[in-house]
Structure 1
């Protein structure tokens, strides 16, 4: 039998090897072994520790995973205030900044350190006696959310600092947690394929994943981390920013690689232009550069404003407008079973909104526009809201990838795909996990049954754990069963249980919409509810009778009739009614708006778009999607789109929110 001290020594040697290779990979960017060789070392250490649990130490690479989920994110007070930066885009403002520095330090030869401005999640990480202690988000600058449980799963972050001889009892380092573009697209691809809404951009993705209560959701996601500032004993000899970064690197912490010293506006501009030119080739998002006075003592003398330092400034890049690259094309499955191709894009600014995805509608649309992975495309926001790929931008001399092909089998359940006109469908219905998850989320959404807490993550767990087979099963779930879900304590489980059962009396149109009948959105549901008055009347209506309802087309009528003819659907509806759901007829108000047509644009504070439409239609009016000769009023909310300009050109009367509210009475 081997001596325990020999086993402990072997484990420590393995840890040192793994930590060294982590440093080479994440800090030095100079890996010496293959991924397979690294995995073999890791597996050897895991086996050794599993067989000898007494030799496991908290800083072991194997201890990055497996922590229990948090019930909520606690608040952490920062060692020192985490400031934001003043941001400018004009070169003259940088010149003014340099002049202010020279005047303040009484030296015409100030030295700046220029660094990329990363678009990530700002973090503070605390090390005590060289060991990882805790990590937090920036928050309000004074206090942030404790994300220690998720950030310790990030392999780019050392759990133990290198021994450099510097005494640092407590070291607080500031930096960014970054989701590289390649990781971002992989995360979004997985989300779309399982029916989730993809993240808007890498920064939102990083924040969303690292602020999760369950650390297992961060495991396996390849993050990068970079540090650019610190406070703590033992770093006093780092007289400037440049030396500080070198000191952090010696400790084994990842620091900014692309940086330079500069002393003039011309040198700063050269770095700004270089990074802007390299921007698209980097595997991480940057949106400008940061200029910092190098001398730390002079920085202390300059001090800070309430939210930003006087010795640093961000020089932002011009926003990217319109054109970007298709990083991937993935196929999602909706609640009706329709397979929809989605373009995952390198994030681009379109009309002030960051766009990272765009629907491609169907295979015929892709073939018509000849879109392929890697293509440069022009993005538009249809109706100032929905992003879509307008066209491919030819790139002479650039080799293109092969044509896109829709899958033969459902990416969620593997069922053989059926072609219906231009669309592909999964025929499995609620036997398809993606469709069932989407139906649960749709049932609980605002505008349907409005069940607070029934979001994507909860629905996914209910389906994955086989706790529900249809929406009626929600009413059979106990508080104890819900408590077993990740991220749920007894209080949150009871809140969800109560929210499900609280939706007793519900307007008929919202109930019809919640059922997820194909082609029945808010407008069709409202028309059906107003025409038939009761659920029983809708259930008994023939296809021909449904077609007689104004605004209901042949396809929708066929879908509604077929839904209630299906025995399984009738059973689900019956169980919902038995559970206490009671659809109520829509109250008909005065018909003061009868014969008047409205168009809505912008965001209203008091109503959602659907609620405003409902208010109009309950008074006999109708809502159109575009302005025409029949338009009587355009209701204008915050940040209106081009419809406001059209209304002016066509001399259509415009109503602000107060005037609209007065008209509704």
Structure 2
């Protein structure tokens, strides 16, 4: 979501203007990738080393960091390059194939990778894959594989897309670069969902230009299958040239002093007994008091694609959890200046910036809010799909497993996970309390009629005569109000229909204002 236009304009291989031939579309969405060459990467790290600055791990990270600079002159000094490979929309372009599109780019001064090849058979693809694998190290920049695309534009349109990628393109990765090293010990990490991941602590070794000192062992079934042991000499690689993993032990180097990796019984963070859920290979800590999970959950909640509270980094989160200032994501919105000064190196300026960032995050989009909740199997793209199908969190929370599964790209596993999340009353209470603290996820698909109900919260109970429950809740949202799922002392209105249930008694106990359906309709000037 960052605007990097000024930085992009400093890259010499990206033309500021192109000459358009006849029949060229008025708007063309060109897609490409910014890279840093191997030579530029080495020069940059040498310069940073001389300046006493931290070195970049690889050209990919260096290119990304360079594009996010606030000062475009810094980006310009980093010698970035760019290649163009596709179009977001080229319906109007007079082309019938991807190769024609790339040819037009080349003619118009948009830089392309000139080693691409049009293949007619699988054998030709395999031959080209083998050739590029041999030439990989001689290229001026790093690559980790090929992308194979259907050439015909007509067939591309027929094949369409799935949630993360087109059906007409597939990555064909090269074999990962491997290295040998030694396992010194194995530690267990706790993820935000309680998953326990065993991690090998290694003798540091260079793999593909990156120093690796830790590598994932995935799970204990994988450890058993590969027969990996502490003090083993092992092959490691960076999966997808990114995540280090242990491939296998070097059996002929064993001395007999290697140790079996014991399966843990208790959580390394909170000492709760670990469980293995049927049908899963991972061990899990299911304690709601697990500090490690809490840190990971909060880190996810504040991340860039979620609530985007970037001022709240991992070190601050750990400090606030250790100092008993954060017990859940809800407590982020209860933080005061005094809470922050318990942390080291916390001054007025940093504290003000953090409080402002937290306050700004309250106004977010519905899809970001769904993603921030950390529902298992619900990633960024799935959150976007759910926000397009449901108007707000209340309607999503009421959706049955069958309704969810009827949505394209939502399978049984995701549907069950979503349903389980909203069936947990603790989660629903957390969401309601966040709304009461001012968190307002807006769905662009829901158009407001007015703000007559702004800052007002509603719960409906009983059978309505004029409106359906869904329609009534929709009217609350369209008039600027909020729909909650339960009654509390912070609720503004309980709208009662016929045969009102236990919510009516609870509202009376909390002195909540109780109104009829007719009074509700008058409140919003509803005329049908």
TM normalised by structure 1 equals 0.40
TM normalised by structure 2 equals 0.50
